[in-house]
Structure 1
């Protein structure tokens, strides 16, 4: 009876168009999302500090996207949590744009994930792009050796040589040493260096995300005092944490592999009063690490007095450094003063490679000798809708009931036939109403296979005696 009621319930569920096992059941519960009320940021050249204020007390975890285990902070059951990220990793990206006055505005950005539970991802989790505008003095070149070298040039005894050389480099003329030192301090307050990573084709782009193989530009920009040269050396690509890395340029600025990153090409020098602005650009095909979508690049700028010594990258690797460098760094011009670090990141995806790898896994797992079609991934499971599953159970239940009925009918017919046979045997064996019936009974006993007799074996035997 209970089985029939269950089958009727399933049939009514199927035909009503509402499933008792609907996968959308979770949307019927209210979503108690703890939303972000406000985000406060502060940043410099090394740190990106984020303060998140939530609507209610937060007990989950906040982290930079793609860095859930390394760049995170746990909630403390309060409405405020603080996260500090290094600008050289954790997916932090530097972009530049022009403000209303035409000045360059630098901005750090990172995609922050607010996970409601510490261990589980839910539909109520939030993602927010957090930006921080950098102050003008964040990328100042703070190099004591550079300042010392420029100051020593001002304090030279040969004033005529000093003034003439400084004039060639853009410094003011007819200034005494005190005035030149003030101008030097002003120049150092404007010295900057930074890196940008941008797609080569930026028109009609909704984001800075690039795909593997797409051409992107690595641009290093610097504004340094006149009489100071620089070049790019020691470039490395890493995954944002340093767990995986790849060398791109060596300590002399020569490429390790031209297919990964060629030698940067320097553009023309643009004078700005006593400063010199110059850019170096390298085009390369975007690549990524297998377990990260964020590609971080980090390079060093070698600051030289005058022009940096030229390097012949075509020399053999086993040659000495003196033969590889065109002129000695010990000379007045070309002397290495300091090294600065510049870095940035970009999001790189690989949809074609990921799809191809999945296809190769399916082909590799298929056994074409024993199975004519590629195997279904996993354990060969297949998915059906809830309505079809309910209808299948109904059909199987009806078949089961019909089978039970058929078996019951067969048992009843067999029992009825056995009762009829026993009734006939009883009348033949024990009836004594007449002599004819008795003779018939004896003959039946003699020919009955129940008692192990047959007509052929008893044909020569004597019949029973006379019937009294």
Structure 2
């Protein structure tokens, strides 16, 4: 029997097919949405876990002229803890305490204290420090984090300006002769004076502390008490300016203590700590040798000096280097009154040596650690040290480290003991073999005994 299929029969089938496709698509979309939801949930869980383990969300650094400012964002709704430079967590003025702090945390580090040190880089100087964020007021936990902060500053060339008015000496006599006394003031007021500005590039100034002699080029960063150091202050080598070092001091970097080293005359305060500066012939470099020292409660030491620039051709450097008397006064320093800048055909430009723009402050710092109580170098004579060095480099000698030599002796002893044990075992085994051979070679007759030497017949 043949069935006749019409369009009316196909319409329900098409509807069923479309419904099946819609259901399948909905299931696929549901599966995709479920996977995305699972991924989002996993991300949220990971974020919560990170927030549970981490405290700091972001740190921003602002390099200012006198300090470094940190802006710290935290995952915590309110931050309870401490922020301090590494090594200054105990009774330090550099430590900041935060209790239920809800907004961004602002922490400021000075450039010349609080363990902030500097190093010379290309075209400038770089300051660095390590800051610890501790999310607890009393305990150090694994949630605490340390951040190494660096700020680099480029040195800029400064221009020294000297403004002065030029007044010609012949102007008064000419006006007085030709126009009379009454016209002198009116003519001068009409002509006025001619303002001139003398500009000169101000030399850059630097302070460096070397371990030993400066010629070795070893910049001191981490030394021990008593190590020989050399402090060098210098300006650019040129023919206009010289310098004089005054008012040097050493600070602890915490604001607690300061010791004067050089006074305002350029003379030492305590010779046993730091003596007089030695100046170069061009008066652009000065150095002083001293031994490393520190404050009892911190290892960071900061040195600061004032550099007074002087113009050589104007006689401003005649009192440099200073000649110090017993009272710490410079006998070459001339007592000069404050002078206004004016132009003189014979003497040139006169200047005021007390001008603030002729004074520059220089800084440098380093870490000084405690020396060990029994340092081998302190007990070795120079000749003994040279002899030891010569023996160490003698090619005819064979040297072994003590640890390797002890291990070799122990191994040799074990090998010797094993050899003795093996020898004893060999001797014992030989004796046992001899006994076995003697026992198996003898025979015992168990039959009737017949004495062949004696016979009796009847």
- CA distance, structure 1, for counterparts of residue 299 and residue 168 of structure 2: 57
- CA distance, structure 2, for counterparts of residue 219 and residue 135 of structure 1: 21
> Corresponding residue for 1:70?
93
- CA distance, structure 1, for counterparts of residue 241 and residue 363 of structure 2: 21
Which of 332, 335, 340 is 2:353 aligned to?
335
Q: Is the 8 A contact 2:84 2:133 kept in 1?
A: yes
Q: In the TM superposition, what are the counterparts of 1:35-434 in structure 2 within 5 Å?
A: 36=56, 38-54=58-74, 58-68=79-89, 69-75=92-98, 77=101, 80-98=104-122, 104-137=123-156, 147=161, 150-152=162-164, 155-156=165-166, 181=197, 184=199, 187-188=200-201, 191-200=203-212, 208-223=221-236, 227-267=240-280, 278-306=284-312, 307-308=316-317, 309-310=319-320, 312-317=322-327, 324-330=331-337, 332=350, 335-338=353-356, 339-352=359-372
Question: Which structure exhibits the higher relative contact order, with contacts defined as CA atoms closer than 8 Å and separated by 6 or more residues?
Answer: 1
> Corresponding residue for 1:395?
none
Q: State the 1:299 CA deviation.
A: 1.3
SS in 2 for 1:324: coil
TM-score by length of 1: 0.50
- CA distance, structure 2, for counterparts of residue 204 and residue 194 of structure 1: 15
- CA distance, structure 1, for counterparts of residue 116 and residue 226 of structure 2: 22
Farther off after superposition, 336-345 or 228-237: 336-345
Q: Is the 8 A contact 2:118 2:127 kept in 1?
A: yes
- CA distance, structure 1, for counterparts of residue 253 and residue 63 of structure 2: 18
Q: Per the alignment, do residues 207 and 255 of structure 1 end up closer, same or farther by CA in structure 2, a change over 3 Å counting?
A: closer
- CA distance, structure 2, for counterparts of residue 201 and residue 312 of structure 1: 23
Runs of at least 5 residues in structure 1 that lack an aligned partner in the other structure: 1-29, 99-103, 160-176, 270-276, 356-468
SS in 1 for 2:163: helix
SS in 1 for 2:284: strand
Q: State the 1:31 CA deviation.
A: 12
Residues matched between the structures, number: 281
CA root-mean-square deviation:
4.1
- CA distance, structure 1, for counterparts of residue 55 and residue 234 of structure 2: 40
Q: State the 1:252 CA deviation.
A: 1.0
Q: Per the alignment, do residues 209 and 53 of structure 1 end up closer, same or farther by CA in structure 2, a change over 3 Å counting?
A: farther
- CA distance, structure 2, for counterparts of residue 52 and residue 94 of structure 1: 23
TM-score by length of 2: 0.51
Q: State the 1:288 CA deviation.
A: 0.3
Q: State the 1:278 CA deviation.
A: 3.4
Q: Is the 8 A contact 1:59 1:116 kept in 2?
A: yes
Q: Is the 8 A contact 2:51 2:75 kept in 1?
A: no
Q: Is the 8 A contact 1:34 1:116 kept in 2?
A: no
- CA distance, structure 1, for counterparts of residue 219 and residue 210 of structure 2: 13
Q: Is the 8 A contact 2:230 2:287 kept in 1?
A: yes
